[in-house]
Amino acid sequence: MTSPRLDLSSRVIAHRGASHYAPENTLAALQKAYELHIPWIEFDVMLTEDNVPIIIHDETLERTTDGHGEVAKTAYKDIAALDAGSWFDRAFSGENIPTFAEFLKQAAELNLSVNVEIKPSEGKDQETAMAVVQTLQAHWLTARPNLLVSSFSVVSLTAARALDKSLCLGLLLDHWFGDWQESLLQLDCVALHANWRILTKRKVAQIKDLGRYVLAYTVDNPEQARELFSWGVDAVFSNVPDVILSSVL
* Active site residue ranges: 15, 57
CA distance 85 to 131: 25
DSSP for residue 171:
E
CB atoms within 10 A of CB 249: 5
Spatial separation of the C-alpha atoms in residues 60 and 169, rounded to whole Å: 26
Q: Which residues sit opposite 47 in a β-bridge?
A: 53
The answer to whether 22 touches 29, Cβ cutoff 8 Å, is yes
What contacts 123, CB < 8 A, 6 or more positions away? none
Which run of H or of E encompasses 191? strand 191-195
- In order of 26, 35, 60, 104, the CA distances from 94 in angstroms are 11, 21, 19, 20
CA distance 121 to 20: 25
Instruction: State the Rg of the chain over Cα.
Output: 17
